[in-house]
Amino acid sequence: MSMRPELAYAWISIRASVAVTSAAVGMIAGARSAHADSAAALFDRANRLLEDGKVAEACEAFEAANRAEPGAGTLIYLGACREKNHQLASAWSAYREALARAKDPLKRDTAAAALTALQPRLSYLTVTVSERSRAAGLTLTRNGTPFDSTSWNRPLPVDGGDYVLVGHARGRQDREITAHVEVEAAHVRIDFPELAETSNPGGASTPHATEHTASSSLTLRRRLAIGLAAASAASLVPGIAFGIAARRNENKASDLCPNHNSCGQAMEANAAMQTARSDARDANVAFGIAAAAAIGAGVLWFVGAPVLQDDLRMSLVPSVAPQTVGLAVHGSF
């Protein structure tokens, strides 16, 4: 049966379109398959690195696997890796994204539980900028990356480490402020000052001034120091009580047998003396614990202090010897 030329042309066009579409679908499917294989290879590599103890490299591999094929499971692994690498804010971000993506109830519950456990451990950095400083056309960078004004004046969860903020405005002198944030449960605030006017006639900014600001005075180590100080004070109470009991029993033994050569109540006196010795031993243990806790509190308080200058270094080391306890101070200025 013959076919009119216009119908034949239409039929050929339809078949050509179907062929092109099938080829395109095949290419897309092949690309997706290759993409999935790449993500799986990166995921396996990340797990091997983690087993070898190369945590930082493993985290980067998990990150690359998630970029290749985003998924809640990979994000949960990434969050756990970042947490193991002491990058708590990065871990929190990964868990949040995993929770948003998860459709499987188990993955959703896992991400939610991880977020709940991590929340109180996060450290925060707040950069406060006054309206007067903004009026100068201030722009900020944080560790070399533009720091948008929508993030000013609000606490942001950050990983532990040093943060360098640089302020810039036309006709003003650049200002650099560095702050250190502890890895866990720190709250650090930077009050960014108004930039000083430059004396350059052209209005270009001058080389910036550098300022180091202290991290939160109540760092994690200092909070531990407070806890040890409380433990030291608590240990003093039983120490004093045992000491008083020891003295009381010792006096009782002396009263029962004032004459050691002849005593009719020798058994009672010996029992009282034994009790006195036991109480004295317990008192010494309690006082020893109190002293050790006090030393530990002092060490943690000083080493946990915010660093104000790079050229000041000081360390305190407990010194324990028979009959003496103390602190050895080593420093360089």
Each domain of the chain, given as residue ranges in start order, spans 14-120, 122-213, 220-332
Global pTM reads 0.55
Same topology for domains 14-120 and 122-213, yes or no?
no
Q: Does domain 14-120 have CATH number 1.20.1090.10?
A: no
Distances (CA, A) of 252 to 96, 205, 271, 314: 68, 84, 10, 51
Region of residue 61 (left: phi > 0; alpha: psi -120 to 50; beta: else): alpha
In tens digits, the chain (333 residues) has pLDDT values of 454 544 444 444 444 444 433 443 344 444 444 455 588 899 999 999 999 999 999 999 999 999 999 999 999 999 999 999 999 999 999 999 999 999 999 999 999 999 999 999 999 999 999 998 888 889 999 999 999 999 999 999 999 999 999 999 998 999 999 999 999 999 999 999 999 988 654 444 455 556 555 455 556 667 777 877 777 777 777 868 777 887 887 787 677 777 655 666 667 777 877 887 887 888 788 778 878 878 877 776 666 655 443 343 444 444 444 444 444 444 443
- CATH for 122-213, options being 2.60.40, 3.40.91, 3.40.1130, 2.30.30: 2.60.40
